[in-house]
Amino acid sequence: MEKSKVVVLKTSPDSILEDYKKLIHMAELEKFISAGSETLIKLNLSWTKYFPACSSQPWQVEGLVKTLIQAGYPEDSLYPVENKTVVTNPLKGAKNNKWSPILKKYGLQFYPLTEVDWVKYDFKEPLLRLNRVFPNGIEIPKMYIGKNVIHLPTVKTHGHSTTTGSIKNSFGGLLKEVRHYAHKYMHEVLVDLLIMQKELHPGIFSVMDGTVCGDGAGPRTMEPKIKNLILASGDSVAIDSIAAKLMGFNPLDIPYIRMCHERGLGTGDPAEIEVTGEDIAEINFGFKSKKSFVIWGDQMIRKGFLRPFEKILLHSPLVFWAPFASNVYHDLFWYPTVGRKKIKQFSKTDWGKLWEGYE
């Protein structure tokens, strides 16, 4: 049986677009996503504001899109998409993260999933948790059905799922704004999402940016760490596993990776994955997954000492307090104080200068 392959390459700001082209072809894009077939480009928006390593980087977006166009993938067959959460806005996020001018440059239209049709979809394969989280039916974007998908995550930690990558990126596309209901069962839900993707999409491919990675209280309030790596694979489980290994975790200790591996949804054991390009045997970033104040509070309500109040706090009209509190903490406290200092430090690096140069 052919091994799952993950390509890992070193890169620099001077060669990033050519390196992405090399990476994508080494990972055999054409094997998973045929030219001419309709393909979603699932961007990753973890914050409406820009913060290094938080969301898809502009050079990551351009590296993929430029490679696709040059390889003969028609512009009208590519659909860049992203959804909103209770704390993000896709249109503002596309502008702030500098995706909009890149997509315009290459003739692509951005599709906020808030503006497309959603339909209830009955999945044939049994799901672990989502049917119980949404007992009235699971709604998905109608445009997802039958299209390929290319994910654009970044290498970072996450307070709910330890790490986040290709599989977690589908969380922001296949579930509606109320997907925070699934936080309580995050790892099982991520398995469900991969089951759903394999039923919906003829092909799945992932291009992950590790030029600037996120350590700590992800997916937003992190410490940006420059690592100069990029990854690609046609196996979402395998790329998440190798990214976790790079960050210093044992991938099979992370429940969603282990459960996907055990169910044959992909390869999660690094010993069974073919890693080409860079020798990563001795790489260990030493990252630690931490919980931000907001994620800690969320988990205390869903699983901790505040659990008796979960229904009234998170499943009633009073739930408006939660996004309000999150926005106050992230946008009005953390970003103007801690975040801006980290961005100022980042702006002095070569990657920061490349970011500033994108218009």
DSSP secondary structure letters along 164-183: ESHHHHTHHHHS-GGGGGGG
Mean pLDDT of 20-42: 97
pLDDT of residue 179: 57
Residue with tokens 């991969």, as numbered in its chain: 194
Q: Which of 10-24, 29-43, 153-167, 311-325 has the lowest mean pLDDT?
A: 311-325
Residue 152: which of 22, 239, 214 has the closest Cα? 239
Band of the pLDDT at 304, cuts 50, 70, 90?
confident
80 forms beta bridges with 41
**pLDDT tens-digit profile of 183-223?**
788 999 999 999 999 999 999 999 999 999 999 998 999 99
Q: Cα 156 from chain centroid? A: 9
pLDDT of residue 317: 66
Q: Cα 210 from chain centroid? A: 12
Rounded Cα gap, residues 172 and 192, in angstroms:
14
Rounded Cα gap, residues 256 and 187, in angstroms:
5
Mean pLDDT of 300-323: 69
- DSSP states along 229-295: EEEEES-HHHHHHHHHHHHT--GGGSHHHHHHHHTTSS---GGGEEEEES--TT------B---HHH
Note if the bond before 219 is cis, omega within 30 degrees. yes
Mean pLDDT of 284-292: 92
Residue 336: which of 221, 235, 251, 176 has the closest Cα? 221
Percent of the chain as helix, strand, coil, to the nearest 5: 45, 20, 35
pTM for the structure as a whole: 0.95
Band of the pLDDT at 327, cuts 50, 70, 90?
confident
Q: For the chain, give every domain's residue range.
A: 4-357
**pLDDT tens-digit profile of 121-152?**
999 999 999 998 888 899 999 999 999 999 99
| Neighbouring C-alpha atoms within 13 Å toward the C-beta of 27 | 33
Amino acid identity, position 15: S
Mean pLDDT of 98-124: 96
What is the percent of the chain with per-residue pLDDT over 90, rounded to a whole number? Answer: 79
| Neighbouring C-alpha atoms within 13 Å toward the C-beta of 120 | 6
Asked whether 7 and 242 are in contact (CB, 8 A), the reply is: no
Structure tokens at 355: 């970011």
**Strands, E assignment, the chain:** 4-10, 39-42, 78-82, 111-112, 118-120, 139-141, 148-151, 154-158, 162-164, 204-217, 221-233, 273-277
pLDDT of residue 335: 95
Q: What are φ and ψ of residue 223, in 5° steps? A: -100, 115
Higher pLDDT, 217 or 307: 217
Higher pLDDT, 237 or 305: 237
Structure tokens at 228: 């100069």
Rounded Cα gap, residues 344 and 359, in angstroms:
18
pLDDT of residue 296: 65
Mean pLDDT of 40-58: 97
* pLDDT mean across residues, the chain: 92
**pLDDT tens-digit profile of 257-269?**
999 999 999 999 9
Structure tokens at 192: 């469900």
What DSSP state is assigned to residue 87? Answer: T
With vertex at residue 324, the alpha carbon angle to CA 301 and CA 136, rounded to the nearest 5 degrees, is: 60
Indicate if the pLDDT at residue 91 is higher than 90.
yes
Q: At what angle do helices 58-70 and 16-26 cross, to 10 degrees?
A: 60
Amino acid identity, position 5: K
